[in-house]
Amino acid sequence: MKLIFLITSLSFLLCSEYTEKYYLMMDKGMDLFEKCESESDYLNTSNYFYRISQVMKTDWLSSYYYAYSNTKISMFQDDPDIKEEYLDKAFDILTRFEQSDVDLVDSLALSEIYTLKAMIYVGKIFINPMVNGMKYGPLSGQSIEQAIKYYPNNPRSYYLDGQSKFYTPSAFGGGVDKAMPLLEKSLDNYSKFKAKKYWPNWGMSDCETLYDKAVKQNEK
């Protein structure tokens, strides 16, 4: 009985120490992430979260911020091959959190992951719109649908959907009139959304800017 108690106590202490180290690492990582502006900022953040993700394989947050940072790094690239390389890095690390591994994360986490996948697909479209649009456009749309399915109140899902509609010509199913309801829904969700500690909380100011642009364009 004493042996069982000792083993349980040691396990608890080790778990507590491990958890405390995780929080310290994530605090530093989020400080890096929130200060990102340049390519080098995102590169440092990417490298930092990658190290955490390789130690904690089931931690979706470190993989998420690694993927998000690489997606942002791709936007700084002029060379299409390098751009795609960063997008592939972002996508590959998220594959461990597919629907079949739903036990690793909850529905909101899956919604955030699929929203980020949609962003990655859009990045691939921009590499070569004429060639990649037909391939990755539907995949991006499907990812948004999955994101909304898993968590209908995720503001980022509607923001990316609205952004996609805004920049897609009306002849191809987009346009300001299609974008505005989605951006309005996104802003409404942002006003109610309360992110958990370390969880994604980006996009509101960008959504507001795009919505204002859509309103002005609609008034012309």
The pLDDT, as a whole number, for residue 104 is 55
The pLDDT, as a whole number, for residue 71 is 98
Residues 6+ apart with CB under 8 A from 208: 187
Number of domains making up the chain: 2
Distance between CA atoms of 150 and 171, rounded to whole angstroms?
Answer: 30
Q: Is 19 within a domain? A: no
Query: Which residue range forms the structural domain that includes residue 207?
Result: 153-220
Claim to verify: residue 52 and residue 146 sit in the same structural domain? yes
For the stretch 94-147, pLDDT in tens is 988 875 454 556 889 999 999 999 999 999 999 999 899 899 999 999 999 999
Taking phi first (over 0 means left), then psi (-120 to 50 degrees means alpha), and beta for anything else, what does residue 169 get?
beta
Of 124, 190, 194, 200, which is closest to residue 159 (Cα–Cα)? Answer: 190
What are 168's two structure tokens? 């897609």
Claim to verify: residue 158 and residue 126 sit in the same structural domain? no
For the stretch 24-57, pLDDT in tens is 999 999 999 999 999 999 999 999 999 999 988 8
pTM over 0.85: yes
Q: Is 29 within a domain? A: no
For the stretch 204-220, pLDDT in tens is 999 999 999 999 988 87
Q: Is 41 within a domain? A: yes
Of 119, 151, 183, the last residue of a domain is 151
Residue 128: enclosing H or E segment and its boundaries?
Answer: none
Claim to verify: residue 145 and residue 157 sit in the same structural domain? no
How does residue 8 score in pLDDT terms, banded at 50, 70 and 90? very low
Claim to verify: residue 158 and residue 146 sit in the same structural domain? no
